[in-house]
Amino acid sequence: MDASSPAPTRRSDVARHREMLIAAATEEFTRNPEASMGDIARAAELTRATVYRHFANREALEAAIRSDALDRASGALADCRLDDGTAVEVLGRVIRALSAQAMSLRFMVLQAPDSDPEFLARRAQVLSPLADVVRRGQREGLLDDRLSPEWIVTTMASLLVAAVRAAPSPDVEVAELVHRTLMFGVAKPAGD
């Protein structure tokens, strides 16, 4: 091995420490949104120096948590079998999966950067496959074709964020509320 190349163990330690820090920070921020970098180091059982080698400051750590959350959301969408079932069934699975993710990261959703163009662009990219699901639902006659697919996906994401923020506690089940509101609106069903 070339002496100038870092040892494979070193690279795996770096990756493992980064994952440990993100996991510990997520857990610590859930308990205490004001947790310090020192609190994160203790929770991860690493030194403060290790924390700062990975993340220059709290903002960088929070950005890494958001990026990790978007990666997990992308994986959750893939697990939702976007081509299996009707569009309405798929959107129900997606809302349940994303609701669970969002509620587990509620502390981040409560302070999510709604005006950060980079975050919003990445979120739109992660959610972009849903526009095809909506188009299919419109062709199937199940979804209103007077609304653009992008509008429906944006509305779903916004409604989900609003529901997570409005939930009185992390234990509240928001998926069914979001799904029902998205699919049926707020008008009282005919015959009730």
Closest to 96 measured CA to CA, from 160, 189, 33 = 160
Please provide the DSSP assignment of 107-126 as one string: HHHHT--TT-HHHHHHHHHH
pTM as predicted:
0.79
Q: Which of 53-57, 107-111, 143-147, 170-174 has the lowest mean pLDDT?
A: 107-111
User: Sorting pLDDT into bands at 50, 70 and 90, what band is 15?
Assistant: confident
Contact yes or no for 40/20 (Cβ under 8 A): no
pLDDT at 145: 94
Q: How confident is the model at residue 9 (pLDDT cuts 50, 70, 90)?
A: low
In terms of domains, do 168 and 191 share one? yes
- Tell whether 77 and 13 lie within a shared domain: no
Higher pLDDT, 8 or 154: 154
Question: Distance (Å, rounded) from C-alpha 39 to C-alpha 35?
Answer: 6
CATH number for position 174: 1.10.357.10
Cα dihedral 136, 140, 143, 147, rounded to 10, equals 60
State the pLDDT confidence band at 33, using cuts at 50, 70 and 90: confident
Total domains in the fold of the chain: 2
Q: Determine the structural domain holding residue 102 and report its residue range.
A: 59-192
Confidence of residue 24 (pLDDT cuts 50, 70, 90): very high
Residues 6+ apart with CB under 8 A from 163: 99, 174, 177, 178
pLDDT at 69: 87
Residues 82 and 163 in one domain: yes
State how far the alpha carbon of 174 is from the alpha carbons of 69, 71, 83, 98, 162, in Å.
18, 21, 24, 10, 10
Nearest to 41 by CA among 3, 68, 55, 136: 55
Q: What is the mean pLDDT of residues 102-110?
A: 78
Out of 35, 55, 75, pick the residue that ends a domain.
55
